Chain A
Amino acid sequence: MASREMTPSSFEEVFHWVEQGRLAPHEALEWMARLAKPAEISSARRERSDHLEESPEAVLAELDRMVGLYEIKRVVHDIRAFVEVQSLRKEAGLAVNQQSWHMIFSGAPGTGKTTVARLIGRLFKALDVLPKGHMIEAERADLVGEYIGHTAQKTREVIKRALGGVLFIDEAYSLARGGEKDFGKEAIDTLVAAMENYREELLVILAGYPDEMAWFLNTNPGLMSRFPIRLEFKDYSAIDMVHIARRMVRERDYILSQDAEQGLLTLLSENEGYWHKNAGNARMVRNLLEHAMRRQAVRLVGRNIPLSRHDLMTLTWSDFEGGLD
């Protein structure tokens, strides 16, 4: 009778107990009814509050669910702690640090820079640092104009759209590429001025490849001090990429067969270092998977017997071979 007094905490546990013969079907259903109720209510509440306010914990949990990025997760958690303590200090009537949060993200393509930037916007909104928390993505072409005076106007327009949220400038080093006479410099000046003017309402994130970003910051010494937070996005390890692959296929209703997972791991670890600059990490995984999905379709169409759900979902290693060239 001891087991009867315990309460199952999840659906899985209820199903397990049914299998073990500890619960009759009608008792199982009673537990399920009880388990379903609070969950449904809380999810409904969460959905409603989504529009109004998101808790910092929810955003951080989403960040923590990303594969790898350990260093970045730590820094973001630190930022959160700092912001919360600052607001508590403010309530207590203590002096508050006028910290600026502009950031530089350096890393190869496909290492999660854009995704993290978006999460940071939402986090700062949840922490009441930014009023809106949306993100505007911009690149050189959006900022730099064609004739004298055009650049400042264009840049200001982009900044206006980004006010209250995050302005994410991808491949920011290209703004300094043209040399002394290039309009890119004007864009940087306008940006820096706006960062001072809208201190409370704008978060600027500059992103790009590590080498080029280092060069960019060296050409423009003033920038270093204006972007106090610099995050390095390391390349994913082979294991991390397999995790990413697993997550991606699950989202698309596919599964990786065991040999496919093993083969992918071998392929990725053998090629470690090979793709660093060009192939683009997570994006390469996605390309590999998309290639495999097409090959799987070709393989299945060639077969004459009817296909089961299982067949339609499984990606085998033969689908992957030849994907990386």
Chain B
Amino acid sequence: MHLVTVGKPNVGKTLLLINFAAYLGLTELRVELPDGEGGQQVKRLSLDRARRDLMSWSTPKTRVIQTAILEQPVGRQRLRVLAVDTPGIPEGISPNPDQRHLTALTLEWLTTAQMVVHVVDASAVHSTRPESPGAFDLALARYGHQLASYIVVANKMDKVGSAEGLRAIRDAYQDVPILPVSCITRRGFRDLKQWILRTMA
């Protein structure tokens, strides 16, 4: 089972995965990173290390598609989800060919993954910051509406102005499930887990 997180740069896709892994009780992440020479490198990172290495507070940090395994015992079984963390997709046609390549790869993941988690920054609605939801998010919601399991995660619900943002998001994206989440306060993680389990069942 593949779960892919997509969204604009700096909406918190990577931290969502790391903190969600912490919520599931994992102590380390097994992360696969492309090593740039066509092969893949496997790293075991403690969650603190992952936070330090894989994300940054200001600039977009994720530059490659990285995967991590999330495990959760349910009853007697262990459910395994391969979480795919993608680089943020900026609005418009990028002048950088590498960025365009990554965008294409990310879009391809959308068609193969069984679960698509669309992350938007609820606190950035109506702002001019690059992570503010825009045409890309609207188009993704429309595409996601056709998928079997697609969810919009309204992230950063701990920040000021996010409540209004959530309302605006609910107005703009109709007919798709929207989940308010905060990676800092862990709000919405329980629902997210329930959603994943439901999808896998």
Q: Which residues of A contact B (CB under 8 A)?
A: 11, 14-16, 18-30, 32-33, 36-37, 40, 305-311
B138 in the interface (beta carbon within 8 A): yes
List residues of chain B with CB within 8 A of the CB of A14: 107
**A28–B102 CA distance with the chains assembled, in angstroms:** 14
Known contacts A21-B100, A37-B146, A26 near B93 by CB under 8 Å:
no
**A131–B91 CA distance with the chains assembled, in angstroms:** 57
Q: Are B93 and A306 in contact (CB under 8 A)?
A: no
B42 in the interface (beta carbon within 8 A): yes
Q: Which residue of B lies closest to A37 (CB)?
A: B146
**A307–B41 CA distance with the chains assembled, in angstroms:** 8
**A35–B112 CA distance with the chains assembled, in angstroms:** 14
Interface residues of B in 159-186 (CB under 8 A from A): none
Known contacts A37-B146, A308-B42, A310-B39, A29 near B100 by CB under 8 Å:
no
Q: Are B107 and A24 in contact (CB under 8 A)?
A: no
Known contacts A19-B100, A308-B41, A309-B32, A32 near B89 by CB under 8 Å:
no
Q: Are B108 and A15 in contact (CB under 8 A)?
A: yes
Other-chain contact of B104, A19, A26, A33 (Cβ < 8 Å): A19
Known contacts A18-B100, A25-B103, A11 near B108 by CB under 8 Å:
yes
Least CB distance, B119 to chain A, in whole angstroms: 15
Q: Which residues of B contact A (CB under 8 A)?
A: 30, 32, 39-44, 67, 89-95, 97, 100-101, 103-105, 107-108, 110-111, 134-136, 138-140, 142-143, 145-147
Other-chain contact of B143, A20, A24, A32 (Cβ < 8 Å): A32
Q: Are B107 and A26 in contact (CB under 8 A)?
A: no
**A40–B143 CA distance with the chains assembled, in angstroms:** 13
Least CB distance, A245 to chain B, in whole angstroms: 23
Interface residues of chain A: helix, strand, loop or mixed (majority): helix
Q: Which residue of A lies closest to B106 (CB)?
A: A25
For the complex of A and B, 3 pairs with smallest distance between CB atoms: A308-B40, A306-B42, A29-B139
Given contacts A26-B135, A33-B146, 8 further A-B contacts (CB under 8 A): A11-B111, A24-B91, A24-B92, A24-B93, A24-B135, A26-B134, A26-B136, A29-B136
Least CB distance, B50 to chain A, in whole angstroms: 15
List residues of chain B with CB within 8 A of the CB of A32: 107, 110-111, 143
Q: Which residue of B lies closest to A19 (CB)?
A: B104
Q: Which residue of A lies closest to B40 (CB)?
A: A308
Q: Are B146 and A26 in contact (CB under 8 A)?
A: no
Q: Are B39 and A36 in contact (CB under 8 A)?
A: no
Q: Which residue of B lies closest to A18 (CB)?
A: B104
Q: Which residue of B lies closest to A12 (CB)?
A: B108
Q: Are A15 and B135 in contact (CB under 8 A)?
A: no
A and B contact pairs by CB, cutoff 8 A, 30 listed? A14-B107, A15-B108, A18-B104, A19-B100, A19-B104, A21-B93, A21-B100, A25-B90, A25-B91, A26-B138, A26-B140, A29-B140, A29-B142, A30-B139, A30-B142, A30-B143, A32-B110, A33-B145, A33-B146, A37-B146, A305-B42, A306-B30, A306-B42, A306-B43, A306-B44, A307-B42, A308-B39, A308-B40, A309-B67, A310-B39
Least CB distance, B85 to chain A, in whole angstroms: 15
List residues of chain A with CB within 8 A of the CB of B107: 14-15, 18, 25, 28-29, 32
Q: Which residue of A lies closest to B112 (CB)?
A: A11
Known contacts A16-B104, A25-B136, A309 near B40 by CB under 8 Å:
yes
Other-chain contact of A36, B92, B135, B140, B143 (Cβ < 8 Å): B143
Known contacts A36-B146, A40-B146, A310-B40, A19 near B32 by CB under 8 Å:
no
List residues of chain B with CB within 8 A of the CB of A25: 89-92, 103, 107, 136, 139
**A36–B135 CA distance with the chains assembled, in angstroms:** 19
List residues of chain A with CB within 8 A of the CB of B111: 11, 32, 36
Other-chain contact of A15, B44, B89, B104 (Cβ < 8 Å): B104
Q: Which of A18, A21, A32, A40 has the most CB of B within 10 A?
A: A18
Q: Are A308 and B146 in contact (CB under 8 A)?
A: no
Least CB distance, B155 to chain A, in whole angstroms: 19
